[in-house]
Structure 1
Amino acid sequence: MRAHVSEIVFDCADPAALVRFWAGLLGGAPVDRSPDWSYVEPPGFVRIAFQQVPEGKAVKNRVHLDLHVPDLGAATDEATALGAARSGGVVTDAQGDFQVMRDPEGNEFCFVTG
């Protein structure tokens, strides 16, 4: 038997707000299934869901999304306008450039080129 990824779930304080950030970033229509569960199905990607939990984020994520973009600066500016924040500066290595970002609740993700 092989499993397949049906969705990626983020714990959060405000599912309705966070799904709107990610829908704005990746596309797709935000869906509020209940007050404590929302999701978006971005074009060409697996569903991303957000479930309300009582505790806040305390440490770095153990898993994060790497999002390939053609223009690192433009992607960073757009995400920042939606409510994200940069975490450090642009990092360049043999594979290309990347920028660590945090969504409005502090979950890390990276924009990558190359």
Structure 2
Amino acid sequence: MRATVSEIVFDCADPAAQVRFWAGLLGGEPVDRSADWSYVDPPEFARLAFQRVPEGKAVKNRLHLDLEAGEVAAAAEAAVARGAERVGGLVQDEHGCFQVLRDPEGNEFCFVSG
């Protein structure tokens, strides 16, 4: 048997706000199925869903998304304007560069190039 990724689900406190943040980064129309569940279907990507949970995020993610961005610094600036937070500075080497960020609820993700 072979499985396929149906959706990636984030636990969060505010599904409606989270789905709008991620739809702003990746495209797609945010859908609020209920006060406890929202999702977006970004073009050429798995569905991202957001479910309300009572507890807050306590530690670093064990899994994060790397998002290809032609211009990492500009993509990071746009994400910060939407509510993201930079984690450290831009990392650059002979293979490309990346910037670690956190979404408005603290979930880590990276913009990458190269």
What is the TM-score of this pair, normalised by structure 2? 0.97
**Per the alignment, in what secondary structure is the counterpart of residue 89 of structure 2?**
coil
- How many residue pairs were aligned? 114
- After TM superposition, list the pairs within 5 Å mapping 1:1-114 onto structure 2: 1-114=1-114
Q: Distance in 2 between matches of 1:30 and 1:6?
A: 17
Please state how far the C-alpha of 1:95 moved relative to its aligned partner: 2.6
- Whichever residue aligns with residue 88 of structure 1, its letter is G
| Distance in 2, Cα, partners of 1:68 & 1:6 | 21
Q: Alignment partner of 1:17: what SS?
A: helix
Taking only aligned residues, the RMSD between alpha carbons, in angstroms, comes to 0.7
Shift of residue 91 of structure 1?
A: 1.2
User: Which structure dedicates a bigger proportion of its chain to strand?
Assistant: 2
One-letter amino acid of the counterpart of residue 61, structure 1: N
Runs (5+) with no aligned partner, structure 1: none
**Deviation of 1:31 (Å):** 0.2
**Partner deviation per Cα, 1:60-113 (whole Å, 9 max, x = no partner):** 001000001000111011101111010001112343100000000000000000
Q: Distance in 2 between matches of 1:69 and 1:16?
A: 25
